[in-house]
Amino acid sequence: MRIVGVGSAFPRHYYKQEVLVQTLKHFWRDRLPKPEALERLGERMTVEGRYLARPLDFYENLQTWGEANNAWIEVGLELGEQALCRALVSAGLQPRDLGAIIVTSVTGIAAPSLDARLINRMGLSPNIRRTPIFGLGCVAGAAGISRAADFVRGCPDQAAALLSVELCSLTLQRDDISKAHLISSLLFGDGAAAAIITGSSLELSGPEIIATKSIFYPDSEHVMGWNISEKGFHIVLSPDVPKVVLRHMGQDVDEFLGEQGLARSSIGSWIMHTGGPKVLKATATALGIEETDLQASWDCLRKVGNISSTSVLLVLEDVFRNRRPVPGTWSVLAAMGPGFCAELILLRW
């Protein structure tokens, strides 16, 4: 099983972080007791800018969840098609070569789901196996690769696609000025990414998927997720997230690698979800590595912010294109998300 192609796509609308901070200050106007706090929060995110699904004035006039979700479908299909096409080109495959497609998002809903609509747009096989995923949040980029690997393990002559589409800006809430929502409005951005995973009978190049592991932490639902009301998605984002990383990441990775006869010192490349500056620092501390060992994740965070499940695929794409390890190098790809949970993938280049 190998990851043989990765591709990404972004909306046309990109804004520097300082522009977004000023726009949000205007958006909330007199609701903010200390508007200057928003500027301090913006600086702490270490994000230079982010892509948005729509131009800034769209959010000022946004009234209903239905309007936001309609935009999610329209923009999501456009970006999803672009990202999937780029991943297929990267792999040297055609749309009809796919035997399965997994589509994940936690920022909108649709029935028929995005994967069904993409069959019509892209000419995918009418016999393709479809799995839409909602609710895994940030972890879904890694979990989706694992589920695609499960499929091609059983069908070694097949190719599967994971597509992540996250338009976090469309969850903006006018009446929510909680600290969690302020942070999310300054951290999360929009985009899409796709990865192509093939079975062992297809002789294509790319890092080999050696092992995967899913980990659930009981009684941790409060750490991350959404509260859903008639106005849409309201972020649940506990300040305990970095503590959870510190408590579990090192031990979980050690156990995972130990099952394969490896240790942390065996790993030459870390492909980690861009949870935010505190999460990335906690990850480095938990793993006993330098922050520079997570440079691809830091660069992704700086350029486009956290894009939920899409982010770890963007880091993977950067490694594919710009930081490709020498053959034989071991890599760990990992993400954490609502549940609270983690997904670990062991790769060999």
- Cβ within 8 Å of residue 168, ≥6 positions away: 107, 184, 188, 189, 190, 306, 307, 308
Question: Which residues, 6 or more positions from 104, have their beta carbon under 8 angstroms from its beta carbon?
Answer: 132, 133, 134, 136, 140, 141, 143, 144, 162, 163, 164, 165, 309
Residue with tokens 């599967």: 160
Neighbours of 93 (CB within 10 A): 19
| Cα gap 110→127, rounded to integer Å | 20
Catalytic residue among 85, 138, 168, 341: 138
Dist. CA 276–CA 38, nearest whole Å: 16
Helix, strand or coil, per DSSP, at residue 96: helix
Active site residue 300: no
DSSP states of 201-245: TS---S-EEEEEEEEE-TT-GGGEEEEEETTEEEEEE-TTHHHHH
Q: Within 10 Å of residue 223's Cβ, how many Cβ atoms?
A: 21
**How far apart, in Å, are the Cα atoms of 8 and each of 3, 23, 28?**
15, 27, 32
Helix (H, G, I), strand (E, B) or coil at 180: helix
- Rounded distance, CA 320 to CA 337, Å? 24
Beta bridge partners of 198: 2, 159
The answer to whether residues 50 and 15 touch, using CB atoms and an 8 Å cutoff, is yes
Contacts of 322 (CB under 8 A, 6+ apart): none
Residue 10 is which amino acid?
F
Q: Which residues are catalytic?
A: 138
